[in-house]
Amino acid sequence: AQKITQTQPGMFVQEKEAVTLDCTYDTSDPSYGLFWYKQPSSGEMIFLIYQGSYDQQNATEGRYSLNFQKARKSANLVISASQLGDSAMYFCAMRGGGAAGNKLTFGGGTRVLVKP
Amino acid sequence: DAGVIQSPRHEVTEMGQEVTLRCKPISGHNSLFWYRQTMMRGLELLIYFNNNVPIDDSGMPEDRFSAKMPNASFSTLKIQPSEPRDSAVYFCASSPIPGNYGYTFGSGTRLTVV
């Protein structure tokens, strides 16, 4: 079974600083994908970044980067140069392979508040 | 593309009434997902379809919940009878198979059962 764990319920970060959001996962499938989503107070789910289990390099998308450590089963999100608009809930998610098919499972989320 | 379209955006209903939530996925996406979000339980996957066929409904809380996907462009989630504990935001999402980049969420339906 797939499992995603986000151990940080909430955190503060100073504007313009970097912040790392932790995510660990558990799966027995060799092929899987890892995602991060942002949910601002308005409620929509915004896709940020994707990492495939066979990707050799860490994914980056603008100010977002994913620190993928396969042996440790972790996929931490790094947001560089935080902005006030980064204040939101952040969810880590995993797409399984094999019997899990295209199923996307979410962690519990981390609330980030950026301070001016 | 208009994205994933959900209706209604808000629904307030009385306990015991039937509630139907609707979703139109992105054209060409083969997978469709229904999630429920609450403060207590976070984002829960209720059911998902691949090519209009239900693949995993293990997240459906009980028999009061049912979901259908009669064609590639439409799905419904029905609650009958509704209870106050069903109050939540219900999201529909769609993706290609595999969904490496394309898990797109609708705006959600905020359901309140009084």
Task: Give me chain B's average pLDDT, please.
Answer: 94
**Integer distance in angstroms from the first to the last C-alpha of chain A?**
41
Nearest 5°: phi and psi at A63? Answer: -85, 0
Strands (DSSP E) contained in A44-95 are: 46-52, 60-61, 64-69, 74-79, 88-95
Best mutation target, A32, A45, A66, A91, to test chain B (most B CBs within 10 A): A45
A47-102: per-residue pLDDT in tens? 999 999 999 899 999 999 999 999 999 999 999 999 999 999 999 999 876 666 78
Gap from A73 CA to chain B (nearest CA, Å): 18
Using CA atoms in the order B102, B107, B109, B110, what is the torsion angle rounded to 10 degrees?
Answer: 130
Return all residues near A109 (Cβ < 8 A) that are at least 6 apart: A6, A9, A39, A89, A90, A91, B42, B43
B26-82: per-residue pLDDT in tens? 999 999 999 999 999 999 999 999 999 999 999 998 899 999 999 999 999 999 999
Contact residues, chain A, for B100 at CB < 8 Å = 33, 50, 52, 95
B26-39: per-residue pLDDT in tens? 999 999 999 999 99
User: Measured between CB atoms, which of B30, B42, B99 is closest to A109?
Assistant: B42
User: Measured between CB atoms, which of B56, B89, B104 is closest to A103?
Assistant: B56
Parallel/antiparallel/unpaired status of strands B31-38 and B42-50: antiparallel
| Residues B75, B22 contacting (CB under 8 angstroms) | yes
